Amino acid sequence: MSTSAKTFPIWAFFSLLTNGILMLAVILLIWQRQRLTAFSNNTASLAQISQSQAVAPELGPRHKLSYQQWVDILQQEAKVAAQSHPQHLSILAGDSLSLWFPTELLPEDRNWLNQAISGEISDGLLKRLGLFDSTQPEVIFVMIGINDLIRGISDEVILDNQRQIMNYLRRMHPKTQIVIQSILPHGGEEATWEGREKLQAISNSRIRQLNQQLQGIAARRGVKYLDLYPLFANQQGNLRREFTTDGLHLSPAGYIVWRTVLQMYNNRELSPKTN
């Protein structure tokens, strides 16, 4: 796989969509198309699921684990993946946004290893990247940073940690595509998450600026950058109401959009190499 610097251009055509209504129309088209394919056998529609789901998904007993217990489980899961060598392995690394990605919505033409932890920050992720050193993924998708902002960590520290994450992954997985995903916006005044005051203290314009710097770092380090922010932001720059459960976490509709991006990425960047 190529190791040259590259910003994934999948959303280049969105630069032409200066009208917010056109942007929303395209997003809803993606949403509707994926709903029909992903939930064709379900009795409840995606819209009904979105309307009825007011809280983040239930994680069961794992949600009650300590951080170290969680790390131990992820280590065991990574060990299994390293021993079994599944074909077309993709890894999700990050926080609760990645952790709660519904398994049934992940692109089905790949094997997935979820290495995310709820509440994770960039420094925490950096320190546990070694858990999956022995795996042989084709691609690693990283999304991290929103919890750093919530905790008051400076942009400089966040970017430095992101830089170290990229360096580590490039060194330990030289044949793997490393994909850094943008930090998503939050819901602003409409957020109902229990820490909404902390969210509202973070301007979405700051997140946009942070993403711009993140994109530059990725390009300089030969890492791909996936800009999800425009698809999730409304005209005010806040997380779209239909794509979130509480202004921070994603609704099923939000994951449908994210899944679409991952599927398009797979089709463009990975399929020719796996035939």
Say if residue 8's pLDDT is above 70. Answer: no
Say if residue 215's pLDDT is above 70. Answer: yes
pLDDT band of 22, cuts 50, 70, 90: very low
pLDDT band of 248, cuts 50, 70, 90: very high
Q: Which of 139, 136, 147 is nearest to 186 (CA)?
A: 147
82, with CB counted inside 10 A (0-12, 13-18, 19+), is middle
Average pLDDT over residues 76-93: 97
User: Per mean pLDDT, which range of 43-47, 124-128, 154-158 is the poorest?
Assistant: 43-47
pLDDT of residue 63: 59
Q: Which two tokens stand for residue 128?
A: 């546990």
Q: Please answer whether residues 231 and 27 qualify as being in contact, where contact means their C-beta atoms are separated by less than 8 angstroms.
A: yes
Average pLDDT over residues 237-249: 97
Q: How far apart are CA 208 and CA 216, in angstroms?
A: 13
pLDDT band of 19, cuts 50, 70, 90: very low
Say if residue 172's pLDDT is above 60. Answer: yes
The helix/strand/coil state of 140 is: strand
The helix/strand/coil state of 224 is: strand
Mean pLDDT, all residues of the chain: 83
pTM of the entire structure?
0.80
52, with CB counted inside 10 A (0-12, 13-18, 19+), is exposed
Q: How far is CA 234 from CA 141, 224, 238, 244, in A?
A: 24, 25, 6, 12
Q: Please answer whether residues 213 and 221 qualify as being in contact, where contact means their C-beta atoms are separated by less than 8 angstroms.
A: no
Average pLDDT over residues 86-97: 97
